[in-house]
Amino acid sequence: MQITSEITPFVNEPFTDFSVEENAKAFQSALESAEASFPVVVRLHIDGEDCEGGGGTFSSTDPSLTSRVVANSAKANKDDTLRAIAGAHKAFGDWARRTAAERAEYLFKAARIMRLRKHQFSAMMVYEVGKSWAEADGDTAEAIDFLEFYAREALRYARKQPLTRVRGEDNELRYIPLGVGAAIPPWNFPLAIMVGVTMAPIVAGNCMLLKPSSDSPGIASMFLDLMKEVGLPAGVLQFVPGSGAEVGNTMVEHAAIRFINFTGSMEVGKGIYQKAGTTPDGQIWLKRVVAEMGGKDFIFVDEDADLDKAVTGTYSAAFGFQGQKCSACSRLILHEKIHDAFIEKLLPLVEATTIGHPSEHKNFLAAMINESAMNQALEGIANAKKEGNTLVAGGERASEDGWFLQPTVFTGVGRNDHIFREELFAPVLAVHKVANFEEGVEAANDTMFGLTGAYFGRNEERIAQAQTELHAGNLYINRKCTGALVGVHPFGGFNMSGTDSKAGGRDYLALFTQAKLVSRAVK
């Protein structure tokens, strides 16, 4: 592969302005092309060859129109997974010896092609997981960013590292790859996170097994096709869609797997952590687990905040993509002096929410990912009612054609109440009133999670105190708690939100390498 001679500084991929007629028409055309292709056929990809799976097949459906099948996917079983692990292990020797520049060029080339076809990738996510135009476009932009950023990071890690010099020795610190890893991404950012958790280890010199979410095999296969197109060597990326119980557990427990890169629920993440902690016969290392798990994220609005800015930020963070983001605001903490005024400004926005199929640009809210997710949210709403929380908006299904749920707001929520403590992953907002700043900080920190949070206020002393005392991996001041940008907001959280991996940051590639010190005596 020809290597790019000059690497420009990293710049985030711009979002598409759909108010420009040309852009809107181009996206509409991509939607029509995607719809005409359904159901797409997805196969396993092991050792450079497409193949059927030993586990049969499964399908993904359009959550906003459940009669539509988006993708029919082959399903890997344990034997397929074992074959993929063996193939990746065999490919590792050659891939690890490639230079960082060689490996990075595959990512640069993939980013260039994805940029040219960004609407095609985004259109698939509109149908397969229910993303609006803007949410899908942002997902694709982030995927491009991950490719560009991690490629540059690989080059930076390969440079000579600064060490203290001593006479009589020439010392060098090298970051070398670990081996074979497992990537287990979620459905809610089915392109961006999948690309990030897979390609960061690959560009660092590892070989990867990718098990995409069973809700989004279609978009995963599009990315696989892209990596085939750029010529990624056989065995470096093994594609094994299938169940977590069979494929996932086989990967996590196998002695040849060096690390697991996981994004998903707390329950699954804890299970992976426990399984990876064992050392089966033949395993001569401790597996690494890089886990980005759940969140019960807050926005705390103080008495002196800019209410208009805080209201629009809260609305976007709570209800964008149906609240199905680990960074979504599900706890709104309001100072009692502005509580009523804030709610008066927020409710008209909630009530005016356009709900419908996301292929129509006018619709802000689409369906939840599947029936189970919707039912779990409805159960949480029922619990809130039983506990005496006041329903002031939503609370019901919005349509029978898909898994639609109205944007929902409860006031009068206590810190021990179900919807204040449990992650619903839904467009449900719990509002808690506090008497002062200190009580607001206590409420914000009163959770097992610690992913994202936001503080709105004008007093500089309180802002400084909030920056120190609010416990979240990504804390935002006077802006919403969603919308992290690669390279700008390294992303990851505390406590049961995971291992604080800081995806999209300068520490990330170190998680998939080991540092080797070479010291040579010289005259």
Q: Which domains does the chain have, with CATH numbers?
A: 45-293+501-519 (3.40.605.10), 297-485 (3.40.309.10)
pLDDT value at residue 188: 98
- The pLDDT of residue 399: 87
Q: d(Cα 120, Cα 483) in Å, to the nearest integer?
A: 22
pLDDT at 6: 74
Residues 103-142 pLDDT 10s:
999 999 999 999 999 999 999 999 999 999 999 999 999 9
What is the average pLDDT across 51-80? Answer: 98
Confidence of residue 400 (pLDDT cuts 50, 70, 90): confident
* pLDDT of 329: 98
Q: How do beta strands 257-263 and 180-184 pair?
A: parallel
Query: 100-116 vs 192-203: helix axis angle to the nearest 10?
Result: 160
pLDDT at 5 over 80: no
Q: Which of 13, 128, 142, 292 is catalytic?
A: 292
At residue 408, the pLDDT reads: 98
Full-model pTM: 0.97
Is residue 326 annotated as part of the catalytic site, yes or no?
yes
pLDDT of residue 3: 59
Which of the residues 326, 422, 423, 481 is marked catalytic? 326
Residue 373's pLDDT band, with cuts at 50, 70 and 90, is very high
For residues 86 and 46, give the distance between their C-alpha atoms in angstroms, rounded to a whole number.
10
What the block records as the tokens of 137 is 């476009």
Q: Token digits for 249?
A: 């557990």
The DSSP string of 396-448 is: SEEETTTTEE--EEEES--TTSHHHHS---SSEEEEEEESSHHHHHHHHH-SS
pLDDT of residue 4: 53
What's the one-letter identity of residue 227? M
Comparing CA positions, the residue from 426, 59, 498, 425 lying closest to residue 268 is: 498
Distance CA 390, CA 341 (A): 17
- Short-list 247, 237, 248, CA closest to 45: 237
CA-wise closest residue to 216 among 186, 184, 248, 247: 186
Q: What pLDDT was estimated at residue 2?
A: 57
Q: Please spell the DSSP secondary structure of 62-82, one letter per residue.
A: ETTEEEEEEEEEE---HHHHH
**Spatial CA neighbour of 204 closest among 134, 110, 133, 104:** 104
**Average pLDDT of the segment spanning 275-287:** 95
Helix, strand or coil for residue 351? helix
